[in-house]
Amino acid sequence: MLINVDSTIHTTQFVSSPEACAMLGIRRETLYAYASRGLVRSYPSAGKGRGRMYLRDDILRLKARHDARSGHGPVAAGALRWGEPVLDSSITEMTVDGPRYRGMLATDLVARGASFEQVAELLWSGGGVLPPTSPHWPTAAIPEAELAPLAARTRRPLARMPLLLAAWQAHSSFGRSRRGASPPSAEATRRLARSLIAALPWIVNPARWPDAAPRTARVAERICLLLNRSAQPARVRLIDAALVLCADHELTVSSFAARVVASSGADLYAVLLAAASAFSGPLHGTASEAVEALVEDIPQPHRAKRMAAGYAMRGEAIPGFGHHLYRQGDPRGRVLLDLSTEAAGDKRELRILNALVEAAEPLGQHPSVDVALVAAAYALGAPKGTASTLFALGRAAGLVAHALEQRESGVLIRPRARYISPG
C-alpha cells in the first residue's frame, strides 16, 4: 500500500461494508451516513452483486480520528496517522479550494500572476503581506570544484539537492562558528534562505548553470534557462505557477521533518537537508515519477480508458489520482493541468495524460498536483524527473516558513512512543 502524504499516490485496496463496519465499530447505517457526507469514498463492487467497496485509507483515517478523541494513549498513536492536528500554525490553511497561504488562496495567487519570490516572502512574513513586485534575490555561490564530479555521476536532479546543501553547509562560516550558539535571527534566516533558494535551480542542469545565473534572473527564469536555454514568457509563467502551487501544503512529510530539525536549533542547511531526504521517498517527493512511468505504458490516448478501467476492476487507485484532503479533486492539479495544456500545443505525452484524466474522472478518481506537475514537464519539453524537481524547488519556500515558525515557538518537538512488549 502506497500513501503519499502530500500528493497521495495510492494502490490502496478497498474493503467491503462489513469489513469497514468492523474496523470502525459502527453499524452499516452509520457507514452509509459517512459515505453520504463525503467522509468515506465508495465505489461499485467489481464482483457479483450490488454491494459497494470502501477505500481502506478513508476507514483508517476515520478510525485514527475517533481514537484520537478517546484519550492520551490513542492521541499519541493516532495523531501521526492522518489524525488530529499536532501543531498550531498560521502559515497555511487547508480548504476545499486548496491551500491558503497566510489567508491567500494559492490558486488565486497564480491567477494574479504572483511570482514564486513574492509568494515565498508572503509565507515568511508573519503579517501575511504579499510584496507588490517580485524581489530580486542574491545567489549563493556554487562550490563547483567539489560538486562537478558528483553532479556528473548523478542523473536525477532531485538527488543533487542534498549534495548541494551539504556542500554549502561545509563551506559556511556560519556552520563552523555557531555550533552550540543560539540560532540566528529570523531576518538573518530569511536572508540566507533567499540566497540558497535562488541558487537551488543549479540541480536542474549543473552544466548550464553559468548561463542561467544572471543577477537579475528570478527562480522560474533560471529553471527555464536550464531546461530550454531560453526564458520564454509563457514557459516562465508555467514554472512560476508550478512553484507557487507547491510552495506549501501544511504538515507534509518534508515540512514536519523540517520542523523537527528546526526545533532542535539546527541551522537552515540542516533543516533543508532533512527535508531533501524526505523528498527522496516515492511516497512524497518523487510521487510524480510513478505518473511518468504510467504514461509511458500507454501507447496512444485512446488506450487510456482501458488502463483506467483496469485499475478500477482491481480496486486500486490510479497513481497520482486521489488525495485525502480533496474529495472532489485537487484544485492545484486542475489549475496547473489547464495551464500546461494551454502552453503545450499538441504534444503526444500530454494528450495521453489528459486522456487518462478524462477516463479517471467518471470513476471518481481525480488528478493530484503530481499529475499536473508531469503535465507541466511535458509542456516544457523537459526530461524525466523535472516534475519532482519542480515540486522540491517550490516546497523549499514553505520549508523555510515552517523553520521560522517552529523556532519562534521555542518548542522542542519530541513525540512519545507507546511501548509494545515483544512478548
How far apart CA 252 and CA 7 sit, in angstroms, is 9
* Residue 159: strand, helix, or coil: helix
Q: Mean of the pLDDT values across residues 377-401? A: 96
How far apart CA 134 and CA 72 sit, in angstroms, is 47
Are 112 and 69 part of one and the same domain? no
pLDDT band for position 172 (50/70/90)? confident
C-alpha cell at 268: 537552515
Bridge partners of residue 54, in order along the sequence: 15, 42
Are 36 and 182 part of one and the same domain? no
Q: Mean of the pLDDT values across residues 208-226? A: 88
Q: Is 284 a catalytic residue?
A: yes
Q: Mean of the pLDDT values across residues 378-389? A: 94
pTM of the shown model = 0.81
Share of the chain above pLDDT 70, in %: 88
Are 330 and 213 part of one and the same domain? yes
pLDDT band for position 175 (50/70/90)? very low
pLDDT at 10: 40
Give CA torsion, residues 187, 192, 194, 196, to 10 deg.
Answer: -160
pLDDT band for position 88 (50/70/90)? confident
Are 150 and 291 part of one and the same domain? yes
Structural domains counted in the chain = 2
pLDDT band for position 48 (50/70/90)? low
pLDDT at 49: 57
Flag whether pLDDT at 12 surpasses 80: no
User: Rounded to the nearest 5°, which phi and psi values hold at 95?
Assistant: -135, 170
Are 311 and 335 part of one and the same domain? yes
How far apart CA 15 and CA 22 sit, in angstroms, is 11
User: Rounded to the nearest 5°, which phi and psi values hold at 239?
Assistant: -65, -45
Least confident residue range of 77-86, 370-379, 387-396:
77-86
pLDDT at 75: 47
Please write down the HEC assignment for all residues of 1-68: CCCCCCCCCCCCCEEEHHHHHHHHCCCHHHHHHHHHCCCCCEEECCCCCCCEEEEHHHHHHHHHHHHH
Single out the catalytic residue among 249, 284, 366, 402: 284
pLDDT band for position 244 (50/70/90)? very high
* Residue 94: strand, helix, or coil: strand
pLDDT at 43: 79
Are 64 and 157 part of one and the same domain? no
| Average pLDDT over all residues of the chain | 86
pLDDT at 47: 59
Single out the catalytic residue among 323, 330, 366, 402: 323
Give the number of other CB atoms < 10 A from CB of residue 408.
11
pLDDT band for position 9 (50/70/90)? very low
Of 249, 191, 284, 281, the C-alpha closest to 402 is: 249
Are 28 and 150 part of one and the same domain? no
Query: Do residues 348 and 384 touch, judged by C-beta distance below 8 A?
Result: no
Q: Which domain covers residue 421, as residue numbers?
A: 93-423
How far apart CA 330 and CA 327 sit, in angstroms, is 8
pLDDT band for position 81 (50/70/90)? low
Are 331 and 394 part of one and the same domain? yes
User: Rounded to the nearest 5°, which phi and psi values hold at 118?
Assistant: -60, -45
Here the CATH number for the domain that contains residue 27 is 1.10.1660.10
Q: Is 323 a catalytic residue?
A: yes
pLDDT at 86: 62
Decide if 7 is inside a domain.
no
